[in-house]
Structures are given as C-alpha cells and as structure tokens.
C-alpha cells in the first residue's frame, strides 16, 4: 500500500513538473535559510558550555547607582576575591582576572608579543582550558611561572617541549624571568575569555584600604554544588558592608553574581577582559526570521497546490467512485507533500553547504554542517516531515473533500472559502515580506547614521601606536615624529579617547555634596585638543610649560553639568588625590560607542602617565610616512615590534554586530520576497487558467492587452495594499524596540515603510504581469473552444 502511495506521488510530481519544481525551490530556499540561522543560533547558545562546571561559574558584577542612574561593571575591588573563598562556605573557588595586557617574551633570539591576563592560581582549576603540556593543578602555583598558548610556545621553542624553559618578559623598563609551566591547547571559539598567556598574581597576605576601592579586576566565582546563588548574593552584600560603606545612602555600589552561561548573550556591562558579547536580541530576531521565511515557503506551497487543485478534481471523483475513502486520499496528498519536502530538504542542505563559506564570512564564525551527528539528521528529517504535513494539510483536506457526483457531472468545485484562504495566504506572505524589507531599510539607515555621525572628535587619518620603551624618550620620539612631512599633529595619552575605560568616583569639586559621581579620565598632553580637533567652549588649552610637571584639567560640558559649576575656569577639582584648576571646557564628544550616552570626561595633563601616541596623518603618502615612523620608533625601542592601528577601523569594530545583522536582514528579506513571488505566481496561474474563457470573450469584444492586464492586476494590488496596512504596525513596533538599544538613533518616519510598500507593489506587478500578459495575448478562439 505504502509503495503504491509513493509510486502515485512521484507520478503526480513528474506530471506537474513545473509547479512541483516551484514548490521544491521555494521550500529549499526557506529551509536553507532556516539551516544557516539554526547553525548560527546553536553556536551562540553554546558559548562557555564546554567548561565542566559552567553551571557553577559566575562573574561578580558591580551594580553602581549614581543619582538614580544604574550601571553594571564586571569589575570588582582587588581585595574581594581572595577573601570570599576564605570567609564564605558556599564559595568553592575564586579567581581574579586582570584587564588584557600585551607583553614581550624573549627566548634567545626569538621574540613574541602575545596578549594575556593575570589570574589567581585557582584559575585552571575552575575553567576547562586543557593543557597540552603541564599540570593544571600546579601550573600557576609559582609566582614566576607562565602558561603559554600552543601557538606562541611553538614560536619560541619550535617542536621541543616548552616545560621548564625560561623566558624573559619585558614590562616597560624591567625584564623578568619566568618559567614555562604549561602550554594551552587552542582555546575553543565559543569562549568568552580570550588570552595567549596566563601569569599569576603575586599572593598577598593582607590588603590596604585602597584595595577595597580599586575596581580594576574581574572576579570569577565557582560555587559549591547545591549552593543557592541568590543566598550567596546576599551574603556577599553583607560581607562587603564589613569592609566598606559603599551601600550607605541613595548612591551605592553593590556586588551581584552573574551566571557565566548568560554572559555572552545577555550581559550589558562595561570593562573587563572578555571579548565583545553577543546579543540575545539578535538570536531571537533571527530565530523569528527563520520561522517567518519557512512559514512563507509553507504558505507558498499551499497556494501553488490549491491553485492547481482543479487538475486533480476528476482524479478524486474517479477514486472515490472506485471506493477510495477520504482518509486514503488525504494520506496520498500528504505523501506527495512530504516527498516534495524531503527533496527540498536534501537540496537545502546542499545549498547551505555551498553558502556556508560566505555565511561564515558575514557572521565571523567557523560554522560547519554536522553531517555525522545523528541528532542533526533526525532534526532535518523531523523538520521535513513537519513542514511537509503542515504545507500539505490544507490542500489535502480541501481536495479530498470534492464530491464525486458533482465533479463527474463537470460542475464547478470552487468555494468562496477556498478563494478567501488563498488570498489571505498571499496577504500574510507579503505582509511578512514588507515588514522584513522595512526593517532592512531602517537598519541600513541606522548603520549609516552611526558610521557618519559627527562625534565631536576627529577620527580620520588618526593612528594609535603603543610607545612601549619609547615612553622613556617620549618627548624626543614625539618631536621627531611631529617633524615628518606626512604628520599633521601628535599627542600622547594613556587610552583611546573614542573608547575611554578609565573611570573615577573620587572626584571632588567646590560645593560637592555627598552624592557619588562617575567621571571618565584621560591622562594626556598639551597637543591632545589639536590632534583630536576638540572644540573649546570656554577657557584655554593646557598652559603648563613642557618641562613643568604641574597638573591641570580640561573637562567636557557633561562634567560641568554633573558638578553644577556656573563659572568653572579656575575652579580647583581633585582627581586621584591631585588638586588642580580647570583651565578649559570642551564641547561634549562621543567617548564610547553610540550605544552609550555621553558622560562626564576629565582630560588630565600628566605627560609622564601617557604611553600611547596618537598621530594625525596628512593623508598623503601614508605608507611612506608609517615606514618613517617605524624607523624612528626602532631607534628608541628594539625590543618591541612597531604596531599601530587606525582609529576609524577600531571604531567600526564597535558596530560589527549591527553591520552583520543588517547584511543578514538584507539577504533574508530578498529570499522572503522571492518565495512570496512564487506564491503570487501560483495564484495568478490559477486565476488566469480559471478565467481563460472570460478573457477570450473580452478580447472578442475589443478589450486591449493593457485593459485585461489592468483588470487582472488590480485584485493583487488590493492584496498588497492590505498587506502593507497589516505589516506597518508590527514592523514599526519591532524595529523601534531594536533602535532603543542605541542612545543616539535615527527618528522613525514613514519613508522607509513607503519604500518597502512601493518595492512590494513593483515586485508584485512584475510577477503578476507574466501570467496576465500571457493570457491577454493568447488567441481568443482557442480559449472559446474550451468547455
């Protein structure tokens, strides 16, 4: 029986090869998108799951309330970590992690410059980072031990074992010897922590008061099995009250545990050493997009199947007359649907494999299709059956319901509900497509806004370069670079002013109340304003002589508002226990990405605290100028290699996820509209076939091709208009939710939605025109001969 069903199904598919092919292509494209998106979602959800104890690992997060504005930092006081495990029974282990640092390691003539972190000796006990060589239990016990990545160990020692080899680490003006006690296996791509070496913090038996207010390290905690995370949260707050008074008053700092499982997708915190996190919103958004595209493909299948149902009417009548039950006919039509879906699934997997290299480039991943994973094969099979049954259910029940007596007499088997459902499917298809097109246009506009917005600070032709040992000859080095013809200006600072991470809560000013206030602090020199084209609102640039080591401050407008100063010039403020006057106020500038609001910034004249050069190039002969700068650098520092980056490139990395989302939305919107057009093609094919005689009569009475095309098209334009009305409210809601992530964003207006509607109309007209013009130009004699 089953063999017969399959045989008849294949015969029917071959007989209606054109429409079967359209069905297969539509479903294949929909399933291809679903497979690619599911691979990406699976990868995002798998971050940090490889750690054996991932369900017991937590970051300790600082909740900071200043003036009613709450922010979260994955940085905690330096002294907290070692004492938590000692004082709290539910805490099994802790490890502090420093900010990412770059160090020069030397062995003989070989030099490498990896980036890594300082950790406590418990780090490798807590995390499942396997060692190729060495023992995780003892690798970080010695304060002068180092664990290197496999890549850098091979660079220094080749194929021989690195264990117990001595390397020299250069840190500014000092050289320290370390013994290699471990070699790391390559880190998994799905790790929120990235590093190429581990160095142990020096053990401390006691802590000073400043260690309780030094928020420079990330603290990771491993709870004991069965421990209540929320109970431990409260215990940590009680513990902190014993040592600090930071929870007193309306402004406060509190510590919370934040699951490492949630960090990659759900965190929204500043500071720390982890790489840029993902966004759960994007996972949800593209999961919905995948479902929408598959749904459009299913609707398309239904439309095409029901549009050609007339060809199966007589077959159904004969089968029923011969004794076939309705359940048998339903099973037959569902078999055809499932077979078409299975063929589509095979094609979809093939297409996904072909598209995967390009998709990997777009999402910056190394995804692969797990052909050998039985679960993957079961999911594909299950999805095919589900989609096949879902897509074929309505056509199967509809067609199997034809009455044999009515059909065999040649009566019309159409119904009003049938036509209404077909039109409803087209409306839903185009509504979803218009929503995707609208979203794509608005995402593009926001990306352009972000990339081209005036930040109030220069970023073009600006090179950031670490000084390393040239710091000890700072003025000589900077003066030589400044004298180059391809250099417009040079400044030195301790950090990138487009991504300021250093903050202080200990700023004092005249009239300050007890409330806390957070300020971003950049230590720099007198050429900073010129190099970054910052506009002075009032006051002057730094006035201290080059050899004068006195401190001065320039602040932004947000800082003046935070302090409440009406006449700031000459007022003395205290930053990091250094009291000095404000000499100038600059216009607010964006010192972080546009996801964050502009906050108070203090520029601190402190030349000897600067270790990065910011070089503004003229834009002419850039390569030659960089070569000349390299030559000057190597005069002052032969230990470190010359490295640099362009600030505009660094800045664009802040928006990589947004840009990627925009590109993917573009692609998926095109696929959705393509599949929708297949459905519209099926509907017009059905309509023109049913109205063949009417078309012939109208032509005999003088109707033109244009009038006939217009007659057929207006019904579909009505459907597209209804789709537009349905799509706009939902599209507006979801895209507005996405825009709320940005502190600075475009204003939503009607234009993107109108453009999406016009695109949908044009595509619909183009699709409809093929069948309608074909029917309109046909010889009316042929159509009038038909019964």
* Least confident interval from 94-103, 216-225, 261-270, 365-374: 261-270
> Band of the pLDDT at 205, cuts 50, 70, 90?
very low
| Domain membership flag for residue 176 | yes
| Domain membership flag for residue 74 | yes
Q: What pLDDT is recorded for position 124?
A: 94
| Domain membership flag for residue 413 | no
Taking 80 as the threshold, does the pLDDT of residue 548 lie above it? no
Both tokens of 68, joined, read 């009613």
| Domain membership flag for residue 153 | yes
Taking 50 as the threshold, does the pLDDT of residue 113 lie above it? yes
Residues 589 and 681 in one domain: no
Taking 80 as the threshold, does the pLDDT of residue 78 lie above it? no
CA 319, CA 306: separation in Å to the nearest integer? Answer: 19
- Last-in-domain residue among 266, 286, 312: 266
Q: What is the mean pLDDT of the chain?
A: 82
CA 689, CA 60: separation in Å to the nearest integer? Answer: 68
Q: What is the pTM of this model?
A: 0.78
> Band of the pLDDT at 418, cuts 50, 70, 90?
very low
The residues near 108 (Cβ < 8 Å, ≥ 6 apart) are: none
Taking 50 as the threshold, does the pLDDT of residue 275 lie above it? no
Secondary structure percentages of the chain, helix, strand, coil, to 5? 50, 20, 30
Distances (CA, A) of 112 to 74, 160, 255, 556, 640: 30, 17, 38, 40, 9
Q: What pLDDT is recorded for position 656?
A: 78
Residues 441 and 486 in one domain: no
Tell me the pLDDT tens digit for each residue of 399-411. Answer: 666 565 555 555 5
Q: What pLDDT is recorded for position 436?
A: 86
Residues 686 and 622 in one domain: no
Tell me the pLDDT tens digit for each residue of 549-608. Answer: 789 999 999 999 989 888 999 999 988 888 999 999 999 999 888 888 888 999 999 888
Residues 588 and 671 in one domain: no
* Least confident interval from 76-85, 463-472, 657-666: 76-85
Tell me the pLDDT tens digit for each residue of 504-546. Answer: 777 888 887 766 678 899 999 999 999 999 999 999 999 877 7
Q: What pLDDT is recorded for position 597?
A: 87
* Least confident interval from 78-82, 145-149, 226-230: 78-82
Cα Rg, the chain, nearest whole Å? 34
CA 70, CA 61: separation in Å to the nearest integer? Answer: 12
**Closest Cα partner for 165 from 150, 176, 177, 151?**
177
Residues 590 and 700 in one domain: no
Both tokens of 503, joined, read 């903050």
| Domain membership flag for residue 326 | no
CA 549, CA 492: separation in Å to the nearest integer? Answer: 15
- DSSP annotation string for 744-781: S-PPP-SHHHHHHHHHHHHHHHHHHHHHHHHHHTS-HH
Average pLDDT over residues 411-436: 71
Residues 190 and 258 in one domain: yes
Q: What pLDDT is recorded for position 225?
A: 92
The residues near 785 (Cβ < 8 Å, ≥ 6 apart) are: none
Q: What pLDDT is recorded for position 277?
A: 46
Both tokens of 131, joined, read 């060692």
Q: What pLDDT is recorded for position 787?
A: 47
For residue 493, the enclosing domain spans 468-636
Both tokens of 287, joined, read 């999961």
CA 195, CA 101: separation in Å to the nearest integer? Answer: 9
Residues 615 and 662 in one domain: no
Average pLDDT over residues 757-764: 86
Q: What pLDDT is recorded for position 161?
A: 93
CA 28, CA 103: separation in Å to the nearest integer? Answer: 51
- Regarding predicted confidence, which is higher, 622 or 779? 622
Q: What pLDDT is recorded for position 269?
A: 54
Tell me the pLDDT tens digit for each residue of 12-21. Answer: 666 667 777 8
| Domain membership flag for residue 783 | yes
**Closest Cα partner for 259 from 282, 285, 233?**
233
| Domain membership flag for residue 536 | yes
| Domain membership flag for residue 374 | no
Number of structural domains found in the chain: 3
**Closest Cα partner for 474 from 606, 586, 579?**
606
Handedness of CA 725, 730, 733, 736 (dihedral sign): negative
Residues 207 and 66 in one domain: yes
Q: Decide if 520 contacts 502 (C-beta within 8 A).
A: yes
Average pLDDT over residues 421-443: 85
Residues 508 and 597 in one domain: yes
Q: What pLDDT is recorded for position 153?
A: 93
Average pLDDT over residues 639-643: 80
Both tokens of 26, joined, read 């539509």
Average pLDDT over residues 219-247: 82
Q: What pLDDT is recorded for position 57?
A: 94
Taking 50 as the threshold, does the pLDDT of residue 635 lie above it? yes
- Last-in-domain residue among 636, 662, 678: 636
CA 388, CA 390: separation in Å to the nearest integer? Answer: 5
Residues 235 and 125 in one domain: yes
Residues 619 and 663 in one domain: no
Q: Where are the beta strands (DSSP E) in 89-144?
A: 91-97, 101-102, 104-107, 110-112, 115-119, 131-134
Q: What pLDDT is recorded for position 624?
A: 93
CA 21, CA 744: separation in Å to the nearest integer? Answer: 47
- Last-in-domain residue among 222, 249, 266: 266
Both tokens of 535, joined, read 């506009």
Q: What pLDDT is recorded for position 9?
A: 60
Taking 70 as the threshold, does the pLDDT of residue 314 lie above it? no
Taking 50 as the threshold, does the pLDDT of residue 273 lie above it? no
DSSP H helices, 453-586, are: 474-482, 528-532, 557-563
Taking 50 as the threshold, does the pLDDT of residue 206 lie above it? no
Q: Decide if 486 contacts 621 (C-beta within 8 A).
A: yes
Residues 624 and 722 in one domain: no
Tell me the pLDDT tens digit for each residue of 324-371. Answer: 676 776 777 777 788 888 899 999 999 999 999 999 998 888 899 998
> Band of the pLDDT at 32, cuts 50, 70, 90?
very high
Tell me the pLDDT tens digit for each residue of 52-70. Answer: 999 999 988 877 766 666 6
CA 306, CA 332: separation in Å to the nearest integer? Answer: 15
> Band of the pLDDT at 82, cuts 50, 70, 90?
confident
When mean pLDDT is compared over 69-73, 279-283, 702-706, 759-763, the highest value belongs to 759-763
Taking 80 as the threshold, does the pLDDT of residue 241 lie above it? no
């Amino acid at each position: 029986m089953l063999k017969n069903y399959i045989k008849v199904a294949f015969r029917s598919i071959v007989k209606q090869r054109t429409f079967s092919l359209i069905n297969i292509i539509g479903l294949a494209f929909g399933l291809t998108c679903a497979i690619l998106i599911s691979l990406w979602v699976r990868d995002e959800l798998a971050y940090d799951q490889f750690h054996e104890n991932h369900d017991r690992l937590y970051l300790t997060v600082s909740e900071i309330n200043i003036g009613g504005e709450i922010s979260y930092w994955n940085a905690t006081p330096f002294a907290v970590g070692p004492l938590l495990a000692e004082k709290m029974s539910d805490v099994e282990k802790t490890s502090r992690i420093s900010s990412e640092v770059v160090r020069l390691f030397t062995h003989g003539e070989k030099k490498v410059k990896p980036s890594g972190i300082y950790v406590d000796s418990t780090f490798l006990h807590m995390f499942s980072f396997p060692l190729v060589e060495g023992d995780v239990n003892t690798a970080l016990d010695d304060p002068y031990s180092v664990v290197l990545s496999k890549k850098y160990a091979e660079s220094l020692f080749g194929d021989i074992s690195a264990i117990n080899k001595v390397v020299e680490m250069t840190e500014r003006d000092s050289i320290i010897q370390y013994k290699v006690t471990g070699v790391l296996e390559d880190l998994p791509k799905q790790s929120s922590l990235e590093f190429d070496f581990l160095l142990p913090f020096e053990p401390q038996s006691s802590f000073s008061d400043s260690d309780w207010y030094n928020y420079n390290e990330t603290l990771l905690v491993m709870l004991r099995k069965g421990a209540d995370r929320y109970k431990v949260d409260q215990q940590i707050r009680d513990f902190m009250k014993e040592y600090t008074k930071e929870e007193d008053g309306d402004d406060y700092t509190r510590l919370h545990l934040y699951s490492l499982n949630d960090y990659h997708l759900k965190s929204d915190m500043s500071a720390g050493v982890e790489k840029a996190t993902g966004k759960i919103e994007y996972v949800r958004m593209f999961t919905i997009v995948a479902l929408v595209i598959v749904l459009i493909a299913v609707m398309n299948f239904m439309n095409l199947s029901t549009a050609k149902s007339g060809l199966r009417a007589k077959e159904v009548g004969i089968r029923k007359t011969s004794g076939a039950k309705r359940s048998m006919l339903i099973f037959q039509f569902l078999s055809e649907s499932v077979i078409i879906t299975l063929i589509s699934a095979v094609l979809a997997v093939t297409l996904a494999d072909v598209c995967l290299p390009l998709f990997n480039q777009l999402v910056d991943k190394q995804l692969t299709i797990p052909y050998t994973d039985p679960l993957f094969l079961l999911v594909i099979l299950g999805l095919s059956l589900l989609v096949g049954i879902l897509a074929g259910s309505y056509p199967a029940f509809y067609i199997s319901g034809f009455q044999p007596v009515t059909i065999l007499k040649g009566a019309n088997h159409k119904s009003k509900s049938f036509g209404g459902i077909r039109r409803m499917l087209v409306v839903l298809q185009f509504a979803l497509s218009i929503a995707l097109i609208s979203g794509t246009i608005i995402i593009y506009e926001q990306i352009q806004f972000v990339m081209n917005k005036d930040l109030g600070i220069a970023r073009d032709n600006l090179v950031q370069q670490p000084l390393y040992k040239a710091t000890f000859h700072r003025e000589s080095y900077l003066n030589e670079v400044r004298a180059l013809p391809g250099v417009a200006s040079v400044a030195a600072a301790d950090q990138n002013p487009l991504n300021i991470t250093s903050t202080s809560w200990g700023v004092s000013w005249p009239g300050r109340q007890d409330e806390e206030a957070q300020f971003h602090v950049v230590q720099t020199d007198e050429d900073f304003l010129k190099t970054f084209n910052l506009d002075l609102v009032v006051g002057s640039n730094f006035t201290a002589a080059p050899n004068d080591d006195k401190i001065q401050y320039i602040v932004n407008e947000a800082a003046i508002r935070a302090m409440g100063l009406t006449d700031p010039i000459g007022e003395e403020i205290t930053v990091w226990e250094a009291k000095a006057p404000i000499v100038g106020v600059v216009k607010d500038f964006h010192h972080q990405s546009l996801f964050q609001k502009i906050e108070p910034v203090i520029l601190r004249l402190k030349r000897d605290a600067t270790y990065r050069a910011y070089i503004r190039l003229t834009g002419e002969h850039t390569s030659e100028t960089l070569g000349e700068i390299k030559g000057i650098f190597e005069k002052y520092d032969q230990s470190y290699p010359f490295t640099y980056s362009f600030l505009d490139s660094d800045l664009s990395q802040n928006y990589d996820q947004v840009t990627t989302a925009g590109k993917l939305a573009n692609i998926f919107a095109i696929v959705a509209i393509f599949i929708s057009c297949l459905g519209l093609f099926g509907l017009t094919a059905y309509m023109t076939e049913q109205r063949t005689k009417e078309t012939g009569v109208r032509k005999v009475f003088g109707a033109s091709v244009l009038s006939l095309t217009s007659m057929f098209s207006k019904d579909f334009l009505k459907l597209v208009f209804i789709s537009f009305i349905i799509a706009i409210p939902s599209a507006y809601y979801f895209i507005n939710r996405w825009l709320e992530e940005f502190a600075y964003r475009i204003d939503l207006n009607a234009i993107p939605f109108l453009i999406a509607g016009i695109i949908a109309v044009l595509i619909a007209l183009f699709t409809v025109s093929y069948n309608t013009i074909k029917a309109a130009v046909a010889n009316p004699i042929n159509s009038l001969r038909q019964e």
